Amino acid sequence: MSYVKTTGIVIKEVHTGEADKILTIFTRNLGKITASAKGARRPRSRLIAGTQLLCYSDFVLFKGKEMYSINSCDVIEPFYDIRNSIEKLTCAAHMTDIINDIAQENQPSIDVLKLFLNSLYMISNSKRPVLQVVSIFEIKLLSILGFAPWVNGCVNCGKKEFENISFSFVKCGFICKDCTAADKSAVRLSEGAAKAIFYIVYSNMQNIFNFEASCDVLDEIRRVSKIYLKRQLEKDYKKMDFLKCLKSHKEGI
């Protein structure tokens, strides 16, 4: 019998049969895998807790011909608090969509897994605005995947400054005032926003959330990360739009 032990987080679940599930799990050792969880929807199943969406667990898996099957699982972090807020849940669902798209089978990425888990932890447990967590997640993820923007001065002429800088989506990085004229889609950044983006790209994973930013700076970073994500991954992720609808609905009442 071929058993494998790994930790991983459930990023997709599909109900099958009377009480089974097919899970997509982003694991530490195996990258993205598909695994069946027999009987996991029965109330007394020993798999019920660890096979919930967004649950991070220790898994013992049996390697079958077509997919793994879960022999046992022990919950490490269930991220329960995320389920208590529609805003938190939407942000987590958005990040999970991206992870589902970029994670590959048999290609473990410890940095991506750490970033995802840290971001979920921040959304679940910290007072940091959730939109800020999502922007940091997006910029850092793209950096890990090889799409790090050039933030070490002007990408065009090399001038090193954080004042009068814009973010160029065409050049994939910072661009100075003198070079911006030819790039109509560049987004002007305050010095604070430019420094924050520089920090996100260059900081190590442990310190990535250790900076303060004003609401205005947050809005600037959000604008950049949203467009940059869409351009680099060539996909328009729509789940976050729901928060805008929710906000305008609330304001309309």
26: three-class secondary structure by DSSP: strand
CB of 155 to Zn ion, least distance (A): 8
| Angle of helix 130-142 versus helix 86-102 axis, rounded to 10 | 10
- Phi, psi torsion values for 171, nearest 5 degrees: -90, -5
Report CA torsion sign: 19, 22, 24, 29.
positive
Task: Please report whether residue 170 would count as binding Zn ion according to CB under 5 A.
Answer: no
Task: Please report whether residue 54 would count as binding Zn ion according to CB under 5 A.
Answer: no
Q: Which C-beta is closer to Zn ion: that of 133 or that of 193?
A: 193
221, two tokens: 């970073």
Taking phi over 0 as left and psi of -120 to 50 as alpha, with beta for the rest, 56 belongs to beta
Sole binder of Zn ion in the list 157, 170, 215, 246 (CB under 5 A): 157
The one-letter amino acid at 202: Y
Give the Å distances, CA to CA, from 125 to 32, 79, 83, 130. 26, 8, 12, 10
Taking CB under 5 A as the binding criterion, the range among 48-56, 62-70, 77-85, 153-161 that sits at the site for Zn ion is 153-161
- Phi, psi torsion values for 170, nearest 5 degrees: -75, -45
CB of 139 to Zn ion, least distance (A): 21
Taking CB under 5 A as the binding criterion, the range among 5-13, 21-29, 116-124, 146-154 that sits at the site for Zn ion is 146-154
249, two tokens: 């609905």
Task: Please report whether residue 118 would count as binding Zn ion according to CB under 5 A.
Answer: no
Taking CB under 5 A as the binding criterion, the range among 60-68, 103-111, 157-165, 223-231 that sits at the site for Zn ion is 157-165
Taking CB under 5 A as the binding criterion, the range among 11-19, 132-140, 152-160, 236-244 that sits at the site for Zn ion is 152-160
CB of 150 to Zn ion, least distance (A): 11
The one-letter amino acid at 230: K
Sole binder of Zn ion in the list 179, 193, 217, 218 (CB under 5 A): 179
Sole binder of Zn ion in the list 130, 139, 176, 200 (CB under 5 A): 176
Task: Please report whether residue 225 would count as binding Zn ion according to CB under 5 A.
Answer: no
CB of 201 to Zn ion, least distance (A): 18
The DSSP code for 170 is T
Q: Which C-beta is closer to Zn ion: that of 137 or that of 167?
A: 167
DSSP-derived secondary structure for 166-193: EEETTTTEEEEHHHHTT-TT-EEE-HHH
d(C-alpha 128, C-alpha 70), whole Å: 35
The one-letter amino acid at 241: D
Task: Please report whether residue 156 would count as binding Zn ion according to CB under 5 A.
Answer: yes
CB of 253 to Zn ion, least distance (A): 47
Taking CB under 5 A as the binding criterion, the range among 58-66, 171-179, 205-213, 235-243 that sits at the site for Zn ion is 171-179
Residues in the site for Zn ion, rule: CB under 5 A? 154, 156-157, 159, 176, 179
